[in-house]
A and B are shown apart, each in its own frame.
Chain A
């Protein structure tokens, strides 16, 4: 509850700051300190100190899982602010509003990670989506940005329609919005239809395979600063909502949806990885890589056991931090193609080293957080004892993904080129080093996160 109210309040404060504060440094400082306060309040709530005791009539349930996830999201956003807040100035003049919209998105993330009612799920997903439409189109003079926001809006609104129809059908069958699980037996056709509609719309939001086609265009067209935010924090938030929905509401119907989710997972892994191989621009490659990572996260929804819950949290931390790091470096470059990274190691040895760690983590090389999170996912799927072909397929696809991540590393270290000159401040470098350190440490001690789930 702390985080939910504070994010909303800080959203409003940032909105007002856009005309009350004139200096951009002050706005940035306010945003970062706001993020620290939100994070601190959320950690306090994990320790049992709740500032606001509000009776939500059992519509929102802040349990350990959602609180821990919120902490991960807030840490990622803090890192994102520290690394990339300066780059938002390039997008347009409305500097304060970008932060306000990001805080509103975080408010939606808090709702959608802790809903216990389909109404809150809908509100959370919409509060995430609507500011994102604006952020995607925030580069007003850029045609690609306009177009990306249009596509995002049309497909997002379409999937919202599907989700609402699903909720309506489930309401018709059960008469309640609380996600206590479907208990009516035999299961009526209304429930099955509603479940399918909800599954498709959530697959849209997490960009799983048959519904992924908006992702590359939107991520490519949006200003790179906001692509970094959308591809990481928003995506894992949608996954948490997906998982909560299918765990709480449709958990009793697992045998009915498991095959479908397995197929979606396999197709997502296949399309994401294979298409990423053929990309020429690193930004677009990262968009496809986010689809393939979504495939791995879908395995948690398929398995839906204790391992899957731990794994999804670990995965969201590893994926968010690494991708935010790569995007922060990418934003400094002018040329987004693979050739833009040529001889990058000679130019900026420190940045190249940290980027390598991020890429290794995404590829799932041991000793990084990315490896352990992938391992957890595979363990979870193997633990269900069904569909073992999915495990083999996932490992194969992880091998494919090594190719396109290593292309960047190869360009940085082994290719000759003139190397782009970029200016990177000292705090920026140290934040990146710290981030790389966290990723390696999480790869050795994953219990730092898992511990909080149970103690």
Chain B
């Protein structure tokens, strides 16, 4: 099954990375922005696994890095959702445009 060339998978992961970037910059809904961040992290996961599998198959470094990224991403998501709930309670909205107490 490993007849799929590496560049194809790298293409998918790069596309995911930039979709995530695009979502982070254009969307104003906080949950969507959180999903965009998860997309970025997952694209990096794909990168790690692909590099490990195709280029350095004798060691499992990249796959272990992926495991750490997954746990950190879960912790980050938990904190983010807590922040969003807190903000919703005060603003009654999860649109970042409404969170503008301070000017940039």
Number of interface residues of B (CB under 8 A): 40
Closest to A152 in B: B83
Contact: B61 with A146, CB < 8 Å?
no
Is B68 interfacial (CB 8 A cutoff)? yes
User: Which residues of A from 117 to 138 have beta carbons under 8 Å from B?
Assistant: 119, 122-123, 126, 130, 133-134, 137
Contact: B102 with A171, CB < 8 Å?
no
User: Which residues of B from 20 to 57 have beta carbons under 8 Å from A?
Assistant: 20, 24, 30, 33, 37, 40-41, 43-44, 47-48, 51, 55-56
Is A341 interfacial (CB 8 A cutoff)? no
Partner of B62, one of A126, A161, A171: A171
A150 to B99, CA, bound (A): 9
A169 to B13, CA, bound (A): 12
B66 to chain A, nearest CB (A): 10
Contact: A150 with B20, CB < 8 Å?
no
Is B2 interfacial (CB 8 A cutoff)? no
Which residues of chain A are within 8 angstroms of B48 by Cβ–Cβ distance?
A: 168, 171
Number of interface residues of A (CB under 8 A): 37
Is A231 interfacial (CB 8 A cutoff)? no
Which residues of chain A are within 8 angstroms of B82 by Cβ–Cβ distance?
A: 134
Which of A172-180, A232-240, A323-331 forms contacts with chain B?
A: A172-180
A157 to B69, CA, bound (A): 12
User: Which residues of B from 81 to 104 have beta carbons under 8 Å from A?
Assistant: 82-84, 86-87, 90-91, 96, 99-102, 104
A176 to B44, CA, bound (A): 16
A403 to B102, CA, bound (A): 25
Is B15 interfacial (CB 8 A cutoff)? no
A130 to B73, CA, bound (A): 10
A149 to B101, CA, bound (A): 12
Contact: A134 with B44, CB < 8 Å?
no
Given contacts A119-B68, A161-B44, A165-B44, contact A130 B76 (CB under 8 A): yes
Is A144 interfacial (CB 8 A cutoff)? yes
User: Which residues of A from 79 to 102 have beta carbons under 8 Å from B?
Assistant: none
Which residues of chain B are within 8 angstroms of A450 by Cβ–Cβ distance?
A: none
A122 to B62, CA, bound (A): 13
Which residues of chain B are within 8 angstroms of A160 by Cβ–Cβ distance?
A: 41, 76
Which residues of chain A are within 8 angstroms of B56 by Cβ–Cβ distance?
A: 175
Closest to A170 in B: B51
Is B65 interfacial (CB 8 A cutoff)? yes
Q: Mark A134-164, 1 if CB is under 8 A from B, else 0.
A: 1001001101101111100110011011001
Is A221 interfacial (CB 8 A cutoff)? yes
Given contacts A153-B80, A157-B80, contact A147 B104 (CB under 8 A): no
Q: List 8 A-B contacts (CB under 8 A).
A: A126-B72, A144-B101, A146-B99, A147-B101, A150-B99, A158-B40, A161-B44, A221-B101
- Which 4 pairs show the lowest CB-CB distances between chains A and B? A161-B40, A168-B47, A164-B44, A172-B51
